[in-house]
Amino acid sequence: MSAVDVLERGRALSAQAAWLDAHEALSSADRSMPLLETDLERLATSAYMLGRLDEYVDAMARAHQLHLDAGAAPRAARCAFWAGMQLLLAGEIGRGTGWIGRARRLVEAEDVDCVEQGYLRLPEAFRCEMNGDYGKGAGVAGDAAATGQRFGDRDLFALAVHAQGHMLIKGGRTLEGLALLDEAMVGVTSGEVSPIASGMVYCGVILACRAAYEPRRAREWTAALTRWCESQPDLVAFTGRCHVHRAELRHLEGSWSDALEEARHAADRAERGNHRSALAEAAYLQGDVHRLRGAFLEAEDGYRRASELGREPQPGLALLRLAQGDGQAAAAAIRRVLAETTDPSDRVVQLPAYVEIMLAAGDVDEALEA
Q: Is 90 exceeded by the pLDDT of residue 1?
A: no
Cα separation, 103 vs 127, whole angstroms:
17
Confidence of residue 211 (pLDDT cuts 50, 70, 90): confident
Percentage with pLDDT > 90 across the chain: 88
Sequential DSSP letters for 166-220: HHHHHTT-HHHHHHHHHHHHHHHHTT-S-HHHHHHHHHHHHHHHHHTT-HHHHHH
Q: Which of 135-139, 156-160, 217-221 has the lowest mean pLDDT?
A: 217-221
pTM equals 0.90
Q: Is the dihedral of CA 351, 352, 355, 358 positive or negative?
A: negative
Q: Is 90 exceeded by the pLDDT of residue 344?
A: no
Contact 79, 63 (CB under 8 A): yes
Distance from first CA to last CA of the chain, Å, rounded? 69
Q: Is 90 exceeded by the pLDDT of residue 112?
A: no
Q: Is 90 exceeded by the pLDDT of residue 348?
A: no
Q: Is 90 exceeded by the pLDDT of residue 146?
A: yes
Rounded to the nearest integer, the mean pLDDT of the chain is 94
- Taking residues 314-335, what's their average pLDDT? 95
Q: Is 90 exceeded by the pLDDT of residue 104?
A: yes
Cα separation, 25 vs 48, whole angstroms:
15
User: In this predicted structure, what is the pLDDT of residue 225?
Assistant: 92
User: In this predicted structure, what is the pLDDT of residue 212?
Assistant: 86
Q: Is 90 exceeded by the pLDDT of residue 158?
A: yes
Closest CA to 67 of 79, 54, 56: 79
User: In this predicted structure, what is the pLDDT of residue 326?
Assistant: 95
User: In this predicted structure, what is the pLDDT of residue 91?
Assistant: 86
Q: Is 90 exceeded by the pLDDT of residue 32?
A: yes
- Taking residues 245-269, what's their average pLDDT? 92
- 349 versus 116: which is more confidently predicted? 116
Cα separation, 112 vs 104, whole angstroms:
12
User: In this predicted structure, what is the pLDDT of residue 191?
Assistant: 93
Cα separation, 10 vs 22, whole angstroms:
5
- Taking residues 206-214, what's their average pLDDT? 88
| Amino acid residing at 259 | A
